[in-house]
Chain A
């Protein structure tokens, strides 16, 4: 996994609440057996005016000029800003893969849905929860100046706006450590293989029916 330490980038403002994972990446693209290549279909239903299917040449599709992703002023933004309950709905990690494949490294919102939040950390995408006031401040700044840069410092747990306003965010220490070091969860867990075996031995005594093989 790619490390995340600091990032200074433009912000793309998506002024919607309850952005669900069906909207982030529609179902027809979930048929892929790959992890890459979802970027062109990020927010597909909102971004294009015509319906799309896997395998289409997306450069030939009609863009929705009213959708923020197609606004040239925000091109190259690596931070997505949204309203409450971002990433609600299905558990599809494809939603995170679409965001990172497109180029986002951070999503800022007042709240996130649990599964999306957890999936983000596994892919080097940093979800940042900020209070409404802070979110509104960054929205206002971005609307006034689409070129405005925001700096994210994971070590310090801060978001700094172009105007120099600093907002602190919470993150659990273990997730922070993994992101800062680009660590793979599975490798970390397997260091505790003996603990897992010891748990299994004890559990087998207490609940032997959980260890009767499935046929």
Chain B
């Protein structure tokens, strides 16, 4: 009976998303009751993955950056969306502390760090200010060195004058 069901082609229809809602419901019931159905489904999914692997195309390197940028934009947009009004004394989702323990991930698996785009202006400002301070430092160093030279010359002249008298 169960083998007849497995061989009916309904599993193939389910895996390709072409089965009707009734068939899907029936299949999920059968899957829960009969492990053979689950095994057969896993085999069919492996077939689909095999076929996909044979047709695989490597996406260009920039694709992930593009996706990442779009997700960032969507997240920023969602944060700016108008939130539902709540009375002042009613706690919001943000103010309710999470039930479980909270911790900061100090060491992630990735060696890269992601920061908000606004930081680029801060970095640019720090860079420009750094250059300005460096220019001032060089200027005052040279000025100081020149003043020291002049001071030494004056001391020498004074000593010479004292020697004459």
**Binding between chains A and B:** no
- A residues sitting closer than 8 Å to B (CB atoms) are none
